[in-house]
Structure formats: structure tokens, C-alpha cells
Amino acid sequence: MALDGSELERLAPPGEPVYDADELRKHVETMTGYDRDWNAWFQREGIEPMCVDYDALAADPVRTVKEILGRLGRDRAAADGIVPGVRKLADSESRDWVARYRSEC
């Protein structure tokens, strides 16, 4: 297993990625439903959720953790020196697929 996290969730043998708009659409619909359901629950419970942006977290995990700690009323300095065991896995191919998906769907 790589220390960058690239093998943490492998469920199948390694292979070349294949663009599949229908499969992507299914996942987008599933995740959109999860977001809708969570937002409805937060609203019913009178909770204002803290949204953590994936790109911001990947770019500066220490800062993001400090923001979370601050929001929770905890010592932000507790995040000093943390070193994530994973890295952002998106790359130019990911960005190309996003653009392609958005143009097709």
C-alpha cells in the first residue's frame, strides 16, 4: 500500500481508467441525493453545517483542520504539524473527464 493513499480503497485489480458517462451519471445522482438528504436533515435539526471544500483541504490540510477546530471551539494549534497520510488523487485526466461529463450531460 502506498503512503500517499492511492491504494487505500482499491476494490479491483489495477487497470487503465475508462470514461463511462452513464456510470458517472449514476454516481453523481447518488451523491446529489446524499447531499440533498443531509441538507434536509441539517435544516430540520436547525444546524448550520460547515462545508469543507475538497480542493481547499487537499491544497492546505493544516489550514482546513484549523478552521474545523476553530468552528468546534477547540484549540486551532492542535493542527500544527499534522501530516496527511493521503494526497489528492485528481490529475489532468480527472479535470478532462469533468469537462467532458459536463459538456455531455
Per-residue pLDDT of the chain (105 residues; tens, 9 = 90+): 445 555 566 677 777 889 999 999 999 999 999 999 999 999 999 999 999 998 899 899 999 999 999 999 999 999 999 988 877 878 899 899 999 999 998
The answer to whether 85 and 9 are in contact (CB under 8 A) is no
**Torsional sign, CA 78, 8, 95, 25:** negative
